[in-house]
A and B are shown apart, each in its own frame.
Chain A
Amino acid sequence: MKKRMSFLLVFVLLIVSFLSACQKGSDTVKIAVVGPLTGDFAEYGTGFKNAVELMVKKWNDEGGVLGKEIKVVAYDDKNTGEEASSIAEKIVSDKGIIGVVGHFASGVCMAASPTYQESGIVEISPSASHPDYTSEGDYIFRNNTVINMEAKVAADLAIETLGKKKVGILSVKTDWGTKTAEITKDLVVKGGASVVACEEVVDGTLDFSPNITKLNDAGAEVIIVAAMYNILAPFATQYKSVNPNIELVGFSNAYSQQLIELAKENAENIHFPTIFFHASENEQVQQFVKDYEEKYGQMPSSLTAQAYDSAGMILTCIKNADKVSREAIKEELTKLEYPGVTGVTKYDDLGDAIKKFTKVKVENGQFVEIDN
């Protein structure tokens, strides 16, 4: 009996699965936000979703865009290319969706971007850093820092601001980490300092003692860490128990309240370049941080802020174009000069944005701006 029943169940589910995919378009304007809502990186995807919803709420409160209500459709890609490419098909087949904010990891973005490019829908990734990502096509943009620019500021922080000559590099073995480490290495040497040791770790590593031993034996005075907060924080804690005088420089990806919560006093004096600074005097930023904290009870991280601006840019482009069309958004994006919470965004031919960096450090458990 059960055999038959399960059989039937299977078929019903299959049919439902295929029917559920047939959706109808609607008169509202829809923005898709895609990111990992489940899996290891769910915190980032959830941040994307929250930020985009916040931005859309702001617009809807002011009467929507071109008089139409804006809706957010959130999709989970579990941070895998396989699911991302399926979702991309799902998104492009829904004619109501006019722009995409998302995909978290570069690899995932790049699995999905051919679909967006072929169908002609704008994808703005708040986090993709792979050098090849934007060259996929003219519909593919990112609202993330360009590695070269950020690495330059990071090297600057280590050599000029902290005044150290012996630099160690720790990087996470992802597309972003590897590339960043490579570029940083060159820039440090050009900046007149020497790279004494380079260490790589895989994501999810908790035990850095072998790396720390090597970096410390090489006599590093400052470590540039190309990794997210989940590596930087325990690394700082472990390093400072070995050598309390070590200086650390991070990247904007690690700019998150979580870092201070995890590393506590060991986070003191970690320096960052960042395009989003939550305590900035910019009114827009203050408003965003206030709204975000009110609604979600957390401080927005750098990537969240980048997602917030990405959504803002898409909506502004619709407004500027004065029509709801996927192609018009692309046209407008190339002309856009968008003042957002992550600074002014202006795209180059590839779809990369050159941004101004703020130098930040941790002081008394707070991120503060360094004046220079």
Chain B
Amino acid sequence: MIEQLLNGLALGMVYALIAVGYSLVFGVLRLVNFSHGSVYAFGAHMALFFVGLQFGVIPAIVFSIILTGILDILIDKFSLAPLRKKKSKGIAALITTIGIAYIIQNLLMIFFGSQTKPFPAIFDYGYVTVLGISIKSTQLFILVVSLILLAILTYVVKFTKIGLSMRAVEQNQKAASLMGINVNSVIRFTFFLGGASAAIAGSLISGYYQVVYPNMGFLAGLKAFSAAVLGGIGVLYGSIVGGLVVGVSESYAAALLGGSYRDAVAFIILIIVLLFKPTGLFGKKDITKV
């Protein structure tokens, strides 16, 4: 059972990393970025591509992080920024991100093929024994790396100047721009962070399972999205808790109920939580303006 818990935690951390991307963008734009799952797949494929060019695993991942971040900025610049400028409905932006998901996912399939491709294992040293429990080194690695990354992200948002501007934009775009904050560049930076975290998540999970395929972002994206909502979308630590809850419950569901139920469990928990706490576990209540 301890084993299942560890499996769930490692899985949950990865969901958390993807969920953070949803949360960041939702925070500043109030938009569910449906292209995030495919951006995650893009990150994994870029890492694979650079590994194929004999860059070594770590530099390949770094390149992928940068490229994926840039991709997310481009998405914002060419498709979402014009919509903001026109002040069109939020739902138009939603459909736009769905369209972008189609584009990215199908281009990945065309250029990389739809087959499942091998990815080199990262940090595989067999089993490590900690406090009498043997843990897979790859699991430990995922846990540690995602914790560090989430800490860095939290630091950036909470304690840096750009983080301050992000929070300002989150609260009131107009007021923020009046205070001399360049709203567009803040949004762009947020997208970069979202893309980068997606690339990290993509590379980590590909290294863990050693496989990559174009559609990998679909289910992972949906579950991460539900994790983000579960924790309260727009709240960073909420995404982490949400991710862990989804990961662990999935792991136990697969063990106790059978593998075919695991995908539903995350959603059932989500619905139950929402019934009792409509804005997720840590979500802020929206103030209704009259």
Contacts and interface: CB of A to CB of B under 8 A. Distances in A.
- Asked if A and B touch directly (CB within 8 angstroms), the answer is yes
Interface of A: 38-43, 46, 173, 199-202, 204-211, 213-214, 229-230, 233-234, 237, 241, 258, 261-262, 264
A164 to B, nearest CB: 22
A41 B219 CA distance: 15
Interface stretch (B30-38, B48-56, B110-118): B110-118
B11 A262 contact: no
Contact of A202 (B115, B117, B210, B262): B262
A230 B211 contact: yes
B215 interface: yes
Interface stretch (B150-158, B253-261, B266-274): B253-261
Given A207-B209, A241-B136, 14 more contacts: A42-B113, A43-B113, A46-B113, A202-B259, A202-B263, A205-B262, A206-B211, A207-B254, A209-B251, A211-B259, A233-B116, A234-B211, A262-B117, A262-B210
Contacts of B7: 207, 209-210
The dominant DSSP class at the A interface is helix
Contacts of B118: 261-262, 264
Contact of A211 (B106, B116, B210, B254): B254
Contacts of B260: 173, 200-202
Contacts, number: 86
A261 B254 CA distance: 28
Contacts of B255: 210, 213-214
21 contacts: A39-B109, A43-B113, A200-B258, A202-B259, A202-B260, A202-B262, A202-B263, A204-B215, A204-B219, A205-B262, A209-B7, A210-B259, A213-B255, A230-B115, A230-B116, A230-B211, A234-B209, A258-B116, A261-B118, A262-B210, A262-B211
Contacts of A209: 3-4, 7, 251
Contacts of B214: 40
Interface string B99-123: 0000000100100011111100000
Interface string B124-161: 00100000000010000000000000000000000000
Contacts of B11: 207
Contacts of B218: 204
B262 A41 contact: no
B189 interface: no
A46 B254 CA distance: 33
A204 B37 CA distance: 14
Nearest to A209: B7
B3 A213 contact: yes
B282 interface: no
B22 interface: no
B40 interface: no
A264 to B, nearest CB: 7
A314 to B, nearest CB: 26
Please name the 3 residue pairs, one residue from A and one from B, whose CB atoms are nearest each other, closest first: A210-B254, A42-B114, A201-B259
Given A205-B259, A211-B254, A39 B114 contact: yes
Given A202-B259, A202-B263, A209-B3, A233 B211 contact: yes
Contact of B114 (A40, A205, A229): A40
B284 to A, nearest CB: 32
Nearest to B256: A210
Contacts of B259: 173, 199-202, 205, 208, 210-211
Contacts of A230: 115-116, 211, 213
Contact of B115 (A200, A210, A213, A258): A258
Nearest to B106: A38
A41 B114 contact: yes
A311 B290 CA distance: 69
B287 to A, nearest CB: 36
B137 to A, nearest CB: 10
Nearest to B7: A209
Nearest to A173: B260
Contacts of A237: 210
A204 B263 CA distance: 11
Contacts of A205: 259, 262
A200 B214 CA distance: 23
Which of A41, A46, A210, A211 gathers the greatest number of chain B CB atoms within 10 Å?
A210
Nearest to A229: B116
Interface in B36-72: none
Which of B109, B113, B116, B210 gathers the greatest number of chain A CB atoms within 10 Å?
B116
A43 B209 contact: no
Nearest to B264: A202
A233 B136 CA distance: 19
Contacts of A229: 116
Which of B3, B7, B118, B218 gathers the greatest number of chain A CB atoms within 10 Å?
B118
A145 to B, nearest CB: 22
A38 B106 CA distance: 7
Given A200-B258, A202-B260, A262-B211, A210 B251 contact: yes
